[in-house]
Amino acid sequence: MVRLKLCQVCLESNTLCEQCKEKLKNGIINQEEIDVSRAVHNLSKANPELKNIDIDYVADVGKLLVFAQPDHAKKLIGRSGTTIKALSEKLGRFVHVVSRPSNDKYLIRELIGNVPLLGIDVLYTESGQLFRVRVSKDYASRIKIRPQKFEEIMKKLTGKTVELTFE
C-alpha cells in the first residue's frame, strides 16, 4: 500500500494541493485518511516514533478504524495506549487501530464483532468470486457496521467481493 498518500505539503497545511485534491476526488484517499494522516504527522513532532507511519486505510464506522501493518499499528497505539489516546483527542473521535490482519476471517471479526458466523460461502458469479458471510438474524442488532460499509472495507483491504447476509 501507499505510504502516507498525502504529500508533505498537504500534511503541513489545512488545504490541499491540486494533486491531492485530485486523489480525494478519485477516491484514492478519503477525508478520514487526510485527517488521521495530518494528526499523526502533527504528533510525530513530539514523538519521532510516529515518523514514517504507513496508514493503509481509514474507515468511518461511527468510530474511526485505522488499518495499518502490525509494526505500524503498534506505534500508533503507543505504550499503554498513550498515542492512540492522543490521536483520539486530537481528532475528537474515538479511534480504533486495527493491525492489518493476515487472514480475512480475523478482519471480518474486527469489523462485525464477536458474533457467531453461520458460515462463509464462496459463490462463483458472472462478475467473479463472491464471498457470502452468513450471520443469524438474531445477531443483526449486535452488528454496528452497515453491511454496505462492511463490503466497501473488505473490498478495499482484501480486493475481494464480500457480502454480509442475515438469515
Query: Which residues contribute to the site for Zn ion (CB under 5 A)?
Result: 7, 10, 17, 20
Question: What is the number of other CB atoms lying within 10 angstroms of the CB of residue 36?
Answer: 24
Q: Please give the span between the terminal C-alpha atoms of the chain, in angstroms, as a whole number.
A: 35
Q: Which is nearer to Zn ion, 2 or 140 (CB)?
A: 2
| Rounded CA separation 93/84 (Å) | 11
Which positions ≥6 away from 14 have C-beta within 8 Å?
none
- The residue written with cell numbers 498518500 in the block is 5
* Minimum CB distance to Zn ion, residue 7 (Å): 3
Q: Which is nearer to Zn ion, 30 or 161 (CB)?
A: 30
Helix H or strand E encompassing 21:
helix 18-25
Buried b / exposed e over 63-80, threshold 16 CB at 10 Å, is: ebbbbbeeebbebbbbee
Q: Which is nearer to Zn ion, 3 or 79 (CB)?
A: 3
* Minimum CB distance to Zn ion, residue 73 (Å): 25
* Minimum CB distance to Zn ion, residue 12 (Å): 10
* Minimum CB distance to Zn ion, residue 9 (Å): 5
* Minimum CB distance to Zn ion, residue 3 (Å): 14
Give the CA angle between residues 53, 64, 144 to the nearest 5°.
Answer: 145
Q: Which is nearer to Zn ion, 8 or 141 (CB)?
A: 8
Q: Which is nearer to Zn ion, 19 or 129 (CB)?
A: 19
